[in-house]
Amino acid sequence: MEPPLKSIEKRQIGYLLTDWFVKNKRILPWRTNPSIYNRLVSEFMLQQTQVATVIPYFNRWIGQFPSIEVLAQASEEQVLKAWEGLGYYMRAKNLHKVAKEMIKRSVNLNTTELDIYPRTPKEWKQLPGIGDYTAHALASIAQSQCVAAVDGNVVRVLCRINGIQQSFESKNQAVKYVKNIAHFYIPFDKSASYNEAIMEFGALICKPKNPACDRCPIVLHCCSFQKKLNCLQIPKFKKIVYVKRIVQRIFICKGQITILKKTNTKRLHDIFELPLIDDIDKKMFIQEIAKISRSIAYERIEEIIFEPQYLPEDLKILTQNRPSLILLPICELKNITISGPHRRWLDRQLLAYL
C-alpha cells in the first residue's frame, strides 16, 4: 500500500519531531558527552536493552574504559566482567574487537569530529557486531550523515503516522518496509537530530501500549488518529508461535564451594553457568528446587534447577575428567562472569551461605 502522506508533509513532520526533541529529550550520559566512542558504547548496550537499565552500566563502563585506547588494551575477562548482567555477551566481545580494530587503524573515536573512518553505514557495517540499524544510527546520530536508522520505535511511529494496517510476518519484514519510506522524513539540515528525535518520540509519546496522542506534536498529520484507527493494533504482526524448551540444570554447593560450568560456545564463550544435569553423569537422588523462565527469539526456555540430596565428601570426585566444570569458592563468584539469569538466581540462593 502506498503511504498517503505527500513529500512536503513528510519533511514537515521531520521538522516538527526535531523541534519537539530539542525541548523534550531526556538527559542521558551519552548525550551529555556525545563523542563517537560514547555513542558507539551506548548503541551496543542499547541493543535488546532498555535505556533505564543501560544508564548505570554505561556510566560504570566509561569510568573503567574512558577511551577507545583503554578499551582496546583491556583483557577480554575485564570486558566481560564489566558487561556482566547486561546479557547477550557477544555485544561486549564485538565492542572490544571494534576498539582493537580502530586502534590498529589509528582511528581516534574519542572525538566529536565527523569526518573520520568509519563514516558511512557501509563502512560501519564492516566492523564486528555492527548491523544495519547500528550502522545507520552511528553514521547519522554521531556523524550527521543524512541516512535513516530504522528500529522498532521508528517502525511503530511511521506505520501509525501513515495508518499502515497490513500485517507483517516479522520485525525484519516491517523494518524492510519502513526503510523504503523512512528517509523522506529527514529534514535536510537536521539529519543528525532527526533519527534520535523519532526514536525518542516513539519511546516517550507514541508508545506501544498507551500513546499520548493528546500531547502529540504531529497529531494533525497522523492518519491513524485522524481516521480514528485503532493505533494500538499498528503495526500489526502475525502471532509468534513460541517453541518451548526445557533445560535441566543442577545446583551443587557444599560448604563454601560451588560447581559451575565454563561454557564454550560462540555466543557464551568464557561465561559461567549452572551445569546441565548431563554434565554430572552420576546417578544422584535429586530434587527440584527452582525454575527460571525466559524467552529468546522464538524460544520459551524453562530451566529447571535440581539439587542433589546427597553429595560425596570430596566434591572433586564430581568434576574429575570434566574439564569444563570448576570448583569455585563462593567468595570468588564475584570475580567471574556468570550468565545473567543464573547470576541473579545464585545471588539470591547463596545469600544463606554468606
Is 317 strand, coil or helix? Answer: helix
CA-to-CA dists, residue 283 to 58, 92, 105, 286, 308, angstroms: 45, 38, 55, 9, 10
* Interface positions, 228-287, toward ligand SF4 (CB under 6 A): 231
* Interface positions, 173-212, toward ligand SF4 (CB under 6 A): 205-206, 211-212
- Our finding on whether 224 is near ligand SF4 (CB under 6 A) is yes
Binding mask 91-120 for ligand SF4 (x = CB under 6 A): ------------------------------
Which residue, 231 or 259, has its beta carbon nearer to ligand SF4?
A: 231
Give buried/exposed letters for 235-269 (b at 16+ CB in 10 A, else e).
beeeeeeeeeeeeebbbbbbeeebbbbbeeeeebe
Binding-site member from 225, 251, 272, 345 for ligand SF4 (CB under 6 A): 225
Q: Which of 43, 84, 196, 200 is catalytic?
A: 43
- Our finding on whether 5 is near ligand SF4 (CB under 6 A) is no
- CA-closest candidate to residue 307, choices 320, 295, 290, 294: 290
Q: Which three cell numbers stand for residue 78?
A: 575485564
Q: Which three cell numbers stand for residue 14?
A: 521531520
Smallest separation (angstroms) from ligand SF4 to the CB of 182:
15
Smallest separation (angstroms) from ligand SF4 to the CB of 217:
8
- Our finding on whether 143 is near ligand SF4 (CB under 6 A) is no
Distance, in Å, from the CA atom of 185 to the CA atom of 15, rounded to the nearest integer, reads: 8
Between CA 93 and CA 351, with CA 271 as vertex, the angle to 5 degrees is: 130
* Interface positions, 150-169, toward ligand SF4 (CB under 6 A): 160-161
Specify whether 76 is catalytic. Answer: no
Contact positions toward ligand SF4, by CB under 6 A?
A: 160-161, 205-206, 211-213, 216, 218-219, 222, 224-225, 231
